[in-house]
Structure 1
Amino acid sequence: MDPILLHGTLHATIYEVDRLHVEGGGPKLFRKLMENIEETVGLGKGTPKIYATIDLEKARVGRTRIIENEPNNPRWYESFHIYCAHTAADIVVTVKDDNPIGATLIGRAYVPVQELLDGEEVDRWVEILDKDKNPIHKGSKIHVKFQFFDVTRDRNWARGIRGPKFPGVPYTFFSQRQGCRVSLYQDAHIPDNFVPKIPLSGGKNYEPHRCWEDVFDAITNAKHFIYITGWSVYTEITLVRDSRRQKPGGDITLGELLKKKA
């Protein structure tokens, strides 16, 4: 089946697996091998740690908690509200065992995206298949529920934030706040002649700004606090880089600027 663009909200629930720990192979055969390995290298007995993930092609969009010591019938009963703009042929639910040598694949279940396009709820037991798409040990199944709502069904779609009655983005941790500002950047630093034509609502075009220079201005003009978030901060970069657009104090590195403000 050809991939289909899912642009909207996917409501997903992962309930349980009917039977995993059965005679004749699969997880039990793997677990016996794991016990031998763990005893040999001194890791002790392995503890079954079963979890499930939700994938749209190569994008992992959901993961359950780990269920320990329940290899027969792991029960999660977890729901997800997934905002997606992904191209996929199937929603893939993967069941894995998290063990000392890394997560081990137990099997995958596939629900065709085509079945969700009409907005109807899909609630069923889906067969779990191995990596070659053959049923695993005597037809184990996983109970899942999916329902997709196309983005055009959102009453606020393409309207922007209008007035005080806008409810904010649903299913988020924090409610909508007043006085916030978000700046969109094409890149951290761009030359003057690099202005792509990106149309916005209201007949306007996006006007790119220089992120690093705005960061420099924000730090320089800060009065009370400077909050920096990110995976890491490299203090040796220079924020003002264009000799034709020099700023007072812009010839120092980010680290020197922060020390100066402190």
Structure 2
Amino acid sequence: MIDSSNHLVYAHSDSFNGQNMQIVPSTKGSLKVLLLHGNLDIWIYSAKNLPNMDMFHKTLGGMFNSQMNTKITSDPYVTIAVAGAVVGRTFVISNSEDPVWQQHFYVPVAHSAAEVHFFVKDSDVVGSELIGTVAIPVEQIYSGGKVEGTYPVLNGSGKPCKPGATLTLSIQYTPMERLSFYHRGVGEGPDYNGVPGTYFPLRKGGKVTLYQDAHVPDGCLPHLGLDRGMSYVHGKCWYDICNAISQAQRLIYITGWSVWHKVKLVRDASPALDCTLGELLRSKSQEGVRVLLLVWDDPTSRSILGYKMDGVMQTHDEETRRVFKHSSVKVLLCPRIAGKRHSWAKQKEVGTIYTHHQKTVIVDADAGYNRRKIIAFVGGLDLCDGRYDNPHHPLFRTLQTLHKDDYHNPTFT
């Protein structure tokens, strides 16, 4: 996007801490837009002689404390952007015009871009302020060679934001064709080290089951034939979750945006499974199974002077905590928290607007020969109201049967 002064402008990006736009100094001559499909290996080392963006705060502080000796200056950090997308961010260094980060970024990219931009910013109590920009043309890194140096930090007019203001960095692009670990996929071999950048190593013997909807009645979906005359068996997600929880002997760990104790996982089976999630978890905890719930803490659900507020999203988080308060089921409500190095305004923004959306159920299961194994249900559906569905997707005719007391349609404008 180009503004009236022919500068490149990035607009409507939540990653810029509340700034409406970033003006990037224009480069003389035309730049070729190239597809970066691979990895960027980036080091941001340090900056020198940055301008003091906090002179107003320093002057204000002097009005209240004439003896103030503490130096108040910029709190710089750097964001890395490719085609308008922020792909990396350093931490904030407080009160420094010569910050040293020494931070390394290894970033997968699939972006068409003319330049890689390094935005040097000053973190303030409310949002942030752009100090200047360093732009590295994609043509310089496209061949795969390492580009390293000290570059002037330019303002929106293409001039140094301050005489002598520089940023020292290195960047190297490796195209997908040269990344051999992407070519073999997930498989076996002495040289295969698993998926790079992941916490857990590659293990053998795993099994994956894919689910459609919370429940699939028998005969509801078309028959799918497999090799050797076998037939595909459609899984029943919530039935399998309920069964796995019922058979757990050591642990039941659940995370969720919302976990509602009144939800029924199984609604058309035997009376043995005709219970709510809360009843099932309480029963298992009384058997000695370790039951832990990690649920998003909705900041809008609060009790003020005895008046209980359900919260904008109606996640039942406070209700879930109250129900299990005096039981063996442990519930932790976890708010969405920005890093301590973010500005106060950014921390409030993250805590109010963003949520935790992890959805997992982890239990131990029978592995045969008196051994136990771990089963994990990952992603898809929270164990709460408004989630039970089947391939027929009924809207109204099941409100007194399958969806009795489970109508959930919160909206706000």
Task: Compute the TM-score of the two structures, normalised by the length of structure 2.
Answer: 0.47
Residue 56 of structure 1 pairs with residue 82 of structure 2:
yes
What is the aligned partner in structure 1 of residue 104 from structure 2? 79
Tell me: CA distance 1:84–1:68, structure 2 relative to 1, closer, same or farther (3 Å). same
Structure 2 portions without partners, runs of 5+: 1-30, 223-232, 286-413
| 1:44-97 Cα distance to aligned partner (Å, 9 max, x none) | 9746422212223343322223323321x2121221112233444432212122
What is the aligned partner in structure 2 of residue 259 from structure 1? 282
**C-alpha distance in 1 between matches for 2:255 and 2:73:** 37
Deviates more, 1:163-172 or 1:7-16: 163-172
What is the aligned partner in structure 2 of residue 198 from structure 1? none
**C-alpha distance in 1 between matches for 2:210 and 2:35:** 25
Conservation of the 8 A alpha-carbon contact between 1:51 and 1:63: yes
Deviates more, 1:11-20 or 1:208-217: 208-217
Residue 33 of structure 1 pairs with residue 59 of structure 2:
no
Question: What amino acid sits opposite 1:85 in the alignment?
Answer: A
Question: What amino acid sits opposite 1:104 in the alignment?
Answer: E
SS at 2:253's partner residue? coil
Conservation of the 8 A alpha-carbon contact between 2:186 and 2:195: no
What is the aligned partner in structure 2 of residue 199 from structure 1? none
**C-alpha distance in 1 between matches for 2:234 and 2:159:** 51
**C-alpha distance in 1 between matches for 2:154 and 2:141:** 21
Conservation of the 8 A alpha-carbon contact between 1:53 and 1:62: yes
What is the aligned partner in structure 2 of residue 144 from structure 1? 169
Shift of 1:5: 4.0
Question: What amino acid sits opposite 1:15 in the alignment?
Answer: Y
Aligned counterpart for 1:228 among listed residues 236, 254, 278: 254
Task: Compute the TM-score of the two structures, normalised by the length of structure 1.
Answer: 0.69
Shift of 1:14: 0.5
Residue 16 of structure 1 pairs with residue 46 of structure 2:
yes
Matches within 5 A, 1:164-183: 165=190, 166-179=192-205
What is the aligned partner in structure 1 of residue 187 from structure 2? 162
Tell me: CA distance 1:37–1:111, structure 2 relative to 1, closer, same or farther (3 Å). same
The percentage of counterpart residues that share the same residue type is 31
Number of matched residues?
A: 239
Structure 1 portions without partners, runs of 5+: 22-27, 196-206
Shift of 1:248: 6.1
**C-alpha distance in 2 between matches for 1:172 and 1:211:** 27
Aligned counterpart for 1:129 among listed residues 154, 161, 165: 154
SS at 1:68's partner residue? coil
Tell me: CA distance 1:174–1:48, structure 2 relative to 1, closer, same or farther (3 Å). farther
RMSD over aligned Cα, in angstroms?
Answer: 3.9
